[in-house]
């Protein structure tokens, strides 16, 4: 570690007693940066064993599997695309989705309004700060700001999107176009999710196909797919300000997402890393694509065939970064369990039943866990 890291560690020992949890909970990292920072406050300095190995730019860059959504929609190319999708979910738990059909305008307006929200005066942003994890609109910081002993270099705006009619009135009214933009983005990403989910179910062998008269085939939408259609959607807008000492902190600690699939929109600033073959590697941003990652609920539902991906976010010293994650799962009150069609004598049930309430209870009671899909581990049967 360089001299700046040594100074920061000295700061940590000298000033820890004078800093309070609430001092940072009330401000958030963006507000701290707006005041001007040359060092990372001690509240954000991770223990040495949890810090990124190096600043952004020196690590291995990984090109993820690329799934062409247009090929999934084509009758002649679908079979091969499904095989590629299954391989990506089994071996990586994450892939890039191209030709997804969401227009450049929808994406650019969502990115633009996200940036403008974090550029609002702190007094306007802080109106939505809350410790209530079930709030339909919540501005906050870190990962689990209620419990984290060390905070992460991130501020976020979390917006519940289901049902939209109940949620939208609670969303921020500034910028003036935020509500309209997020509603449009929510509808587009949810439609894409359902189309992609159908392909995922088919790749797992859970979509039945029957012959009709003539040469046409009709997909039978089974109850397996129906139970996902009225599911939950949470949009999380993340802001990672430029950091004066990026080797001392993380934007988000290692974790896996709780749901079925996450559709991530990110700018062209590197930051997302996944654990692949035992090492942390940086995901190369691909223009006009979505990062799609398998969540814990899909790993449970597939009885372990598809793996949720352990990922984290590193920060850098020169550029702020914005990302928008659309997290999709079953309805909040639905029990998630391994599909009976994927369980047999050779593949016994590997996970206990769970629901969203179990997840909220779990994370509300814990600090972030290092290098661990901790919630998923708690649902595994030994």
How confident is the model over 164-184, as pLDDT tens digits?
999 999 999 999 999 999 999
For position 24, what pLDDT does the model report? 54
Q: Who wins on pLDDT, 175 or 32?
A: 175
Tens digits of residue pLDDT in 207-237: 865 444 444 544 444 456 777 888 899 999 9
Query: Would you say 251 and 257 are in contact if contact means Cβ atoms under 8 Å apart?
Result: no
For position 14, what pLDDT does the model report? 41
Burial class (CB in 10 A: 0-12, 13-18, 19+), 369: middle
Tens digits of residue pLDDT in 100-151: 999 999 999 999 999 999 999 999 999 998 878 788 999 998 876 667 788 8
**CA-CA distance, 140 to 204, in Å (whole number)?**
37
Give the pTM.
0.87
Number of residues that make up the chain = 382
Lowest mean pLDDT segment, chosen from 143-157, 163-177, 265-279, 331-345: 143-157
Domains delineated in the chain: 44-205+228-379 (2.60.120.330)
In order of 185, 190, 201, 260, the CA distances from 301 in angstroms are 27, 19, 10, 9
266: nearest Cα among 126, 44, 94, 55: 94
Look over the chain and give the mean of its residue pLDDT values, rounded to a whole number: 85
| Helix 178-203 with 104-118: angle, nearest 10 deg | 130
Kindly give the pairing relationship between strand 61-62 and strand 272-276: unpaired
Q: Which helix (H) or strand (E) holds 9?
A: helix 3-15
């Amino acid at each position: 570690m360089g001299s700046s890291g040594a100074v920061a560690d000295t700061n940590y020992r000298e000033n820890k007693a004078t800093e309070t949890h609430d001092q940072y909970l009330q401000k958030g990292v963006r507000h701290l940066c707006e005041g001007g920072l040359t060092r990372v406050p001690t509240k954000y300095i991770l223990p040495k064993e949890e810090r990124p190995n190096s600043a952004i730019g020196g690590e291995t860059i990984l090109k993820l599997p690329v799934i062409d959504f247009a090929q999934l929609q084509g009758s002649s190319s679908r079979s091969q695309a499904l095989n590629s999708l299954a391989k990506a979910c089994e071996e990586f738990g994450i892939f890039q989705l191209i030709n997804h059909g969401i227009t450049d305008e929808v994406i650019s307006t969502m990115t633009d309004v996200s940036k403008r929200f974090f550029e609002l005066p702190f007094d306007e942003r802080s109106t939505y700060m809350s410790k209530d994890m079930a709030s339909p609109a919540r501005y906050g910081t870190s990962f689990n700001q209620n419990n984290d002993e060390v905070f992460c270099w991130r501020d976020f705006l979390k917006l519940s999107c289901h049902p939209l009619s109940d949620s939208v009135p609670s969303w921020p009214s500034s910028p003036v176009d935020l509500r309209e933009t997020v509603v449009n983005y929510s509808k587009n990403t949810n439609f894409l999710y359902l189309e992609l989910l159908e392909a995922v179910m088919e790749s797992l062998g859970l979509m039945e196909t029957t012959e009709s008269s003539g040469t046409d085939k009709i997909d039978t939408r089974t109850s397996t797919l129906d139970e996902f259609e009225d599911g939950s959607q949470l949009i999380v807008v993340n802001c990672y300000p430029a950091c004066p000492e990026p080797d001392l902190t993380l934007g988000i600690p290692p974790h896996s997402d709780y749901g079925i699939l996450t559709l991530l929109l990110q700018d062209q600033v590197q930051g997302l890393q996944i654990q692949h073959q035992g090492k942390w590697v940086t995901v190369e941003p691909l223009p006009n694509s979505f990062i799609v990652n398998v969540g814990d609920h899909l790993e449970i539902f597939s009885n372990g065939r598809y793996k949720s991906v352990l990922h984290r976010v590193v920060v850098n010293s020169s550029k702020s970064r914005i990302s928008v994650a659309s997290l999709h799962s079953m309805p909040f009150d639905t029990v998630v369990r391994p599909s009976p069609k994927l369980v047999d004598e050779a593949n016994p049930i590997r996970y206990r039943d769970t629901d969203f309430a179990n997840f909220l209870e779990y994370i509300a009671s814990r600090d972030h866990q290092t290098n661990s899909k901790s919630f998923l581990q708690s649902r595994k049967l030994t």
